[in-house]
């Protein structure tokens, strides 16, 4: 971020490109006199003034609205001036350049990404979780994510964390007071029901952690990679899940040469689906490069859908693919093209075999046998038809379950990975404190120390204990002008 957090800053706050309206935002201490000189008239507080935007030579660059918000009652907590004019890139740039030239005397400079919101945080207009929610609201890719981000921005998540912190602080106060009177240490746990109170705090924290994990799924989504031999229907499945033709589908093996990424939503949860080149041995240089990229994508996957042709479920080449899949990554075995099979009788429980008797129409394929089952190696097997849509609802539901999303649930707020980690750390410290409480021979200061560490972990979420390096990382990911 900037070397000085007190310099006046300016930026175009609207997205790049043409638009009906473009906004230029200025923030800094004591801007009222400069804003009046820039606009050529006194500006009433929080009142829209329609006026021309003229340069120092008197040339009209644009015309629009000027609004002045004095600190501390502004977004950043400083004086803020907004100029709302036409949204053409050229006209916005002219007004911006003129503002910079006329602001040189007061040290006006271009804002860095997220610097307006960082100042709102530093001036205690927002806590850190709320500040992050600003970016999450802008980046929300679904209605559910936008609603939850707005709840976070309104302080719903922070209120949960503050309430938890307050309960831990109250327990810490009792411990610290007892430490001043060593003769009372032995009776402390029983006298103040410390263990019972700690269990209650831990139960509440567990609930917040569950909700945070749901909020993380809603924000981050799931990285799903389609893997398998050529012509097993990976591109067809991608198109079916996306609801449009985003990948080329032909009967020619090796049609997909490079990855194709498409984001879809299931119950508001973003899934990043990656179609990859068919995995096989090849002498084709271009296809070989595509296959190498496929394996690299598989290594980064959170979930792997291993597609196979349902007519050849025991192909030895698929066994070789399975052998090379990364350990620890969830793998769903998906038998595609069941519409080309005729199932004479239900397969034995635990078997992945399907009796082949030639092609059949989609209407003849019995849907009850196309759901979720478990193979002999405890691998989940899904039987689908990407062409007809059979089994796709089961696949969608299974992906949500892997993501940790409860069907029909909705997180009241968004969360980030760092929030979940901080909550997990706090939970671990409370568990250690409970262990100390269970042994009367443990010294009380160990109990107190774990409570202190749990409290600090929670405070990292709202920014009470946060390093400057972390702040730099967080706000640098924001868009310029926000």
pLDDT at 448 over 60: yes
CA dist 37 and 33 (Å) reads 6
CA dist 68 and 299 (Å) reads 52
Helices and strands, counts by H and E, the chain: 15, 13
Check if the beta carbon of residue 209 is closer than 8 Å to that of residue 423: yes
Decide: helix, strand or coil at residue 360: coil
Tell me which of 301 and 47 has the higher pLDDT. 47
pLDDT at position 124, please?
Answer: 92
Check if the beta carbon of residue 264 is closer than 8 Å to that of residue 342: no
Strands 303-309 and 372-374: unpaired
* Predicted confidence (pLDDT) per residue in 138-149, tens digit: 988 888 889 999
pLDDT at position 112, please?
Answer: 93
pLDDT at 373 over 50: no
Flag the least confident range among 30-39, 397-406, 451-460: 397-406
pLDDT at 377 over 50: no
The mean pLDDT value for 202-230 works out to: 90
pLDDT at 456 over 90: yes
CATH 1.20.120.430 assigned to domain 138-217+413-463? The reply is yes
Tell me which of 379 and 413 has the higher pLDDT. 413
Check if the beta carbon of residue 29 is closer than 8 Å to that of residue 71: yes
> What is the residue whose two structure tokens read 């893997």?
227
CATH 3.30.1360.120 assigned to domain 9-125? The reply is yes
The mean pLDDT value for 176-203 works out to: 71
pLDDT at position 454, please?
Answer: 95
Please report, rounded to a whole number, the percentage of residues in the chain having pLDDT higher than 90: 43
Name the residue ranges covered by the structural domains of the chain: 9-125, 138-217+413-463, 221-384
CA dist 242 and 274 (Å) reads 11
pLDDT at 227 over 70: yes
Which DSSP category does 87 fall into? -
Flag the least confident range among 63-67, 391-395, 469-473: 469-473
Tell me which of 330 and 4 has the higher pLDDT. 330
Options 3.40.50.300, 3.20.20.70, 3.40.718.10, 1.10.10.10; CATH for 221-384 is 3.40.50.300
pLDDT at 181 over 80: no
CA dist 104 and 126 (Å) reads 29
Whole-number mean pLDDT of the chain?
82
Q: What is the pTM of this model?
A: 0.75
Around Cβ 208, how many Cβ atoms within 10 Å?
21
Flag the least confident range among 42-51, 116-125, 319-328, 472-481: 472-481
pLDDT at 37 over 90: yes
Q: Give the DSSP H or E segment for 270.
A: strand 269-275
pLDDT at 283 over 80: no
């Amino acid at each position: 971020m900037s070397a000085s957090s007190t310099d006046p800053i300016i930026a175009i706050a609207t997205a790049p490109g043409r638009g009906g309206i473009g906004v230029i935002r200025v923030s800094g201490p004591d801007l009222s006199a400069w804003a009046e000189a820039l606009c050529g008239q006194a500006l009433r507080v929080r009142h829209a003034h329609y006026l021309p935007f003229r340069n120092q030579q008197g040339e009209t660059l644009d015309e629009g609205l000027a609004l002045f918000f004095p600190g501390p009652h502004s977004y950043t907590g400083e004086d803020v001036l907004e100029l709302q004019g036409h949204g053409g890139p050229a006209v916005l740039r002219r007004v911006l350049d003129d503002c910079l030239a006329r602001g040189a005397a007061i040290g006006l400079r271009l804002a860095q990404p997220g610097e307006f919101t960082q100042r709102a945080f530093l001036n205690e207009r927002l806590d850190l979780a709320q500040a992050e929610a600003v970016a999450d609201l802008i980046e929300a890719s679904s209605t559910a994510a936008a609603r939850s981000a707005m709840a976070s921005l309104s302080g719903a998540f922070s209120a949960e964390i503050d309430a938890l912190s307050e309960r831990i602080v109250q327990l810490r106060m009792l411990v610290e007071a007892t430490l001043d009177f060593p003769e009372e240490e032995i009776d402390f746990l029983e006298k103040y029901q410390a263990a019972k109170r700690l269990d209650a705090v831990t139960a509440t924290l567990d609930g917040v952690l569950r909700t945070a994990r749901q909020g993380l799924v809603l924000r981050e989504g799931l990285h799903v990679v389609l893997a398998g031999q050529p012509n097993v229907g990976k591109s067809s499945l991608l198109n079916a899940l996306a609801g449009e033709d985003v990948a080329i589908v032909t009967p020619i093996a090796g049609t997909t040469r490079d990855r194709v990424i498409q984001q879809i939503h299931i119950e508001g949860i973003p899934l990043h689906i990656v179609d990859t080149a068919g995995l096989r041995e090849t002498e084709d240089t271009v296809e070989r490069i595509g296959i190498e990229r496929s394996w690299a994508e598989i290594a980064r996957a959170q979930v792997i859908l291993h597609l196979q042709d349902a007519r050849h479920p025991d192909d030895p080449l698929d066994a070789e693919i399975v052998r090379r899949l990364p350990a620890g990554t969830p793998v769903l075995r998906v038998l595609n093209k069941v519409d080309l099979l005729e199932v004479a009788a239900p397969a034995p429980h635990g078997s992945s075999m399907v009796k082949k008797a030639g092609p059949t129409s989609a209407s003849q394929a019995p849907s009850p046998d196309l759901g979720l089952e478990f193979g002999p190696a405890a691998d989940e097997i899904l039987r689908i038809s990407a062409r007809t849509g059979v089994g796709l609802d089961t696949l969608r539901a299974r992906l949500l379950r892997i993501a940790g999303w409860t069907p029909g649930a909705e997180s009241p707020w968004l969360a980030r990975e760092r929030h979940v980690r901080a909550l997990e750390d706090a939970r671990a410290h409370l568990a250690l404190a409970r262990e100390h409480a269970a042994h009367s021979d443990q010294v009380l200061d160990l109990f107190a120390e774990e409570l202190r560490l749990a409290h600090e972990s929670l405070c990292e979420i709202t920014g009470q204990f946060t390093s400057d390096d972390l702040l730099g990382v967080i706000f640098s990911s924001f868009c310029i002008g926000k």
